[in-house]
Amino acid sequence: MVRIRIEISYLEGVEDPEASTLHHNLGVLGYDTVEDTRIMKIYELSFSEDTHTAMGMAKSIAENLLINPVINKYDIIVIGEEE
């Protein structure tokens, strides 16, 4: 069993309207020392595969199903391995 995280965020230079709105509203609510906000989505998947195969599947799932390559980037991180 391998546990893998796919972290999806916006490409540099792409504006995330949800993050901008949060940043603005935190300022209005008095949290005015917040200098930057970013929002990411994490998909944590467990595979009954060896690590190498699971990494390949996670890459395929990310690229084919989860991200929009025009605006998103992703990182894949192995967070746990067990027999």
Which residues of this chain interact with a second copy, rule CB under 8 A?
1, 7, 22, 26, 29, 31, 33-49, 54, 57, 60-61, 65
Which is nearer to a second copy, 35 or 70 (by Cβ)? 35
Which is nearer to a second copy, 46 or 68 (by Cβ)? 46
* Pick from 37, 39, 43, 34: nearest CA to 10: 39
Which is nearer to a second copy, 36 or 70 (by Cβ)? 36
Q: How far is the CB of 41 from a second copy (least distance, A)?
A: 6
Joined tokens for residue 27: 């300022």
Per the CB < 8 A criterion, the answer to whether 78 and 51 are in contact is yes
Q: How far is the CB of 34 from a second copy (least distance, A)?
A: 5
CA-derived radius of gyration, the chain:
16
Q: How far is the CB of 66 from a second copy (least distance, A)?
A: 9
DSSP assignment string, 9-20: EEPTT---HHHH
